[in-house]
Amino acid sequence: MSEQDLKKTPLYDAHVAAGARMVPFAGYHMPVQYKDGVLKEHLWTREHAGLFDVSHMGQARLRGADPAKSFEKLVSADYQGLKPGKQRYAVLLNAEGGVIDDLMTARPDDDGLFIVVNGACKDNDYKIIAEALKGEATVQRLEDRALLALQGPEAAAVLAAHIPEAAGMVFMDSAAVTAFGTDVLISRSGYTGEDGYEISVPATEAARIWNTLLEDERVKAIGLGARDSLRLEAGLPLYGHDMDETVSPIEAGMPFAVGKSRREAGDYLGADRIAKELAGDLKRVRVNLKVLEGAPAREGAEIADADGNVIGKVTSGGFGPSYGGAIAIGFVPPQFAVVGDKLKVIVRGKPAAAEVVASPFVPTRYVRKL
């Protein structure tokens, strides 16, 4: 995609004014970092509150006679059992049980389902959903909305000053409220491993709300670079890297994405494959690696056993600022995925020692109860 074809989020001018380094991402001009740099932005989010522009992601409403029942034809989660005011993670599946995309779906109010999908996948996602559910449910893309993420241990205190209801929410709660003088959809969730919120606002109000939040000394604008290192430390897979249409949610280490009632019914795409994998019939699994020496192992680096035989590949990797070392996510046969196993990663043609560690690399701090 050429520079001229890239889209701009409603916060583009605010990023440029703040001195952000803009890069192409999912078809948009997006800030990869600001003046402080990725390392400081990462640590600030872990210690205070980071504000992210994630407006490139797709927001939509699914409406129909029974949108939850209709949506279950395409996803793995139990949405008929999703209570009002709640949100649930799921994967959009193909017929072979591979992941087309991962997404969040909520019931913040009685207006159908509110769906958030990955920016690079949204056009394809919405086409698949609309065609599969034609005649029983409709997809309304919310192109007139922006999406912000406020993440970190001080996020709740910051947001409660503007949205008192936010303080009473727990992880994966969702609500439609009036705040900042406009209509807002919020969920207590995010993709950093920290406590925090995702905040959907009208695009016309985005810059004003962004600047209002940044007036709080506990908040700093954070770019995509730190967002990636934060989610990597939290052991969270990234679509297009750690998941794609060949990878099942079980291989990706996310059995929770397949609801209990759905497992029992077996009424979802790829159910036969996923049932076998849940029973232990797996050829590969996601693994977390601590790289013990040398440079970080990046995406595409080979993973080898202790004898040097190549057994898999790294799908995400880098330096974990809070972890204090090089870390990676990849796929290997199950027999090599036991915590404590000694493996190797091939970086620039040279083998480096690595060890299988538990996920997440850094403890998550989701607020599950008050």
pLDDT tens digits along 271-323: 999 999 999 999 999 999 999 999 999 999 999 999 999 999 999 999 999 99
CATH number at residue 340: 2.40.30.110
Domain check: are 51 and 188 in the same one? Answer: yes
- Is 227 in a helix, a strand, or coil? helix
Look at residue 300 and tell me if it is in a domain: yes
- Percentage of the chain surpassing pLDDT 90? 99
CA distance 119 to 121: 5
Q: Which string of b and e fits 15-45 if b means at least 16 CB within 10 Å?
A: beebebbbeeebebbbbbbbebebebbbbbb
96-108 per-position pLDDT tens digit: 999 999 999 999 9
Q: What is the pLDDT at residue 41?
A: 98
Look at residue 350 and tell me if it is in a domain: yes
Domain check: are 222 and 292 in the same one? Answer: no
Q: Is the pLDDT of residue 338 over 90?
A: yes
Average pLDDT value for the chain:
97
Domain check: are 43 and 149 in the same one? Answer: yes
Domain check: are 190 and 297 in the same one? Answer: no
Q: What is the pLDDT at residue 1?
A: 61
Domain check: are 148 and 228 in the same one? Answer: yes
Look at residue 133 and tell me if it is in a domain: no
Q: How many domains does the chain have?
A: 2
Look at residue 113 and tell me if it is in a domain: no
β-pair type (49-53, 302-304): unpaired
Domain check: are 155 and 47 in the same one? Answer: yes
Domain check: are 210 and 337 in the same one? Answer: no
Look at residue 104 and tell me if it is in a domain: no
Q: Is the pLDDT of residue 2 over 80?
A: no
Domain check: are 226 and 288 in the same one? Answer: no
Domain check: are 294 and 220 in the same one? Answer: no
- Which of the listed residues 175, 206, 233 is the one where a domain comes to its end? 233
Q: Is the pLDDT of residue 265 over 90?
A: yes
CA distance 104 to 86: 11
195-250 per-position pLDDT tens digit: 999 999 999 999 999 999 999 999 999 999 999 999 999 999 999 999 999 999 99
Look at residue 162 and tell me if it is in a domain: yes
Domain check: are 35 and 170 in the same one? Answer: yes
Q: What is the pLDDT at residue 4?
A: 76
Look at residue 275 and tell me if it is in a domain: no
Q: What is the pLDDT at residue 79?
A: 97
- Which of the listed residues 233, 263, 297 is the one where a domain comes to its end? 233
171-204 per-position pLDDT tens digit: 999 999 999 999 999 999 999 999 999 999 999 9
Domain check: are 148 and 229 in the same one? Answer: yes
Q: Is the pLDDT of residue 94 over 90?
A: yes
How large is the C-alpha radius of gyration of the chain? Answer: 20
CATH number at residue 13: 3.30.1360.120
Residue 3 pLDDT level (bands cut at 50, 70, 90): confident
Its domain, for residue 325, covers 283-357
Domain check: are 181 and 325 in the same one? Answer: no
- Is 12 in a helix, a strand, or coil? helix
CA distance 79 to 56: 25
Q: Is the pTM of this model over 0.75?
A: yes
CA distance 29 to 22: 6
- Which of the listed residues 215, 233, 251 is the one where a domain comes to its end? 233
20-50 per-position pLDDT tens digit: 999 999 999 999 999 999 999 999 999 999 9
Look at residue 108 and tell me if it is in a domain: no
- Give me the sign of the Cα torsion angle 155, 207, 119, 326: negative
